[in-house]
């Protein structure tokens, strides 16, 4: 499974890095390839709390999974999801990846970018509790949940739920033994 974790200025660190670590640990046990990517080439991306990350490249032409972090939805003046939502470039890339067959997953307010991409209309979805009303306004069936799996579209609630979402994807794609092994290595107790 080829997984691209999409970075942008102002993303929430844990939204991206936690799933990335889950996928990288799964790579030691199964055929998973996870990369940190941007839409356009960038030497460095600065996250919401100041972490600077050197991406591995840009979104591939055919990722099997695209993970979209959140961060910055409730801060319209700073970098993050709100700015990317208004700009429209990321939603277009997300929609293109989905149209090409990728499974698309979001963590936290990254769900707002999936909504802007047109992927959540009529679907069950979740996001950080502070953005649930906004998500509901996009026409999805908003739920309070750690994560929601609707086939090729998955959404996770706030921040740490990205670990649950990533482990769920690993289990779905690589099997329960691989997911259990990764969770154990992380010392993470799953609530499944």
**pLDDT values of the chain reduced to their tens digit, one per residue, 192 residues:** 999 999 999 999 999 999 999 999 999 998 899 999 999 999 999 999 999 999 999 999 889 999 999 999 999 899 999 999 999 999 999 999 999 999 999 999 999 999 999 999 999 999 999 999 999 999 999 999 999 999 999 999 988 999 999 999 999 999 999 999 999 999 999 976
Write out the residue range of the structural domain in which residue 182 sits: 2-186
Query: What is the pTM (predicted TM-score) of this model?
Result: 0.97
Residue 182, phi then psi, degrees to nearest 5:
-65, -45
CATH label of the domain that carries residue 44: 3.40.50.880
The one catalytic residue among 16, 36, 47, 108: 108
* Residue 191 domain-assigned (yes or no): no
Number of domains in the chain: 1
Using alpha carbons, select from 43, 96, 37 the residue that is nearest to residue 68. 37
Interatomic CA distance for residues 17 and 36, integer angstroms: 9
13 located within any domain: yes
Closest to 15 in 3D by CA, of 94, 85, 72, 70: 70
Clarify whether 140 is annotated catalytic: no
- Residues in contact with 87: Cβ distance below 8 Å, sequence separation at least 6, in sequence order: none
Alpha-carbon distance of 2 to 78, in angstroms, equals 31
């Amino acid at each position: 499974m080829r997984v691209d974790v999409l970075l942008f200025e102002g993303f929430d660190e844990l939204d991206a890095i936690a799933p990335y670590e889950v996928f990288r640990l799964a790579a030691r046990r199964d055929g998973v390839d996870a990369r940190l990517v941007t839409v356009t080439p960038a030497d460095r991306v600065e996250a919401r709390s100041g972490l600077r990350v050197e991406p591995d490249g840009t979104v591939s032409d055919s990722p099997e999974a695209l993970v979209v972090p959140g961060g910055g939805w409730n801060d319209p003046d700073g970098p993050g999801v709100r700015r990317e939502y208004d700009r429209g470039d990321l939603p277009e890339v997300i929609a293109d990846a989905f149209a090409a067959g990728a499974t698309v997953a979001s963590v936290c307010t990254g769900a707002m970018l999936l909504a802007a991409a047109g992927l959540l209309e009529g679907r069950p979805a979740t996001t950080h509790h502070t953005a649930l009303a906004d998500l509901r306004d996009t026409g999805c069936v908003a739920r309070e949940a750690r994560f929601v799996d609707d086939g090729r579209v998955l959404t996770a609630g706030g921040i740490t739920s990205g670990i649950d979402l990533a482990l769920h994807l690993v289990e779905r794609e690589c099997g329960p033994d691989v997911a259990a092994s990764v969770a154990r290595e992380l010392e993470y107790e799953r609530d499944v």
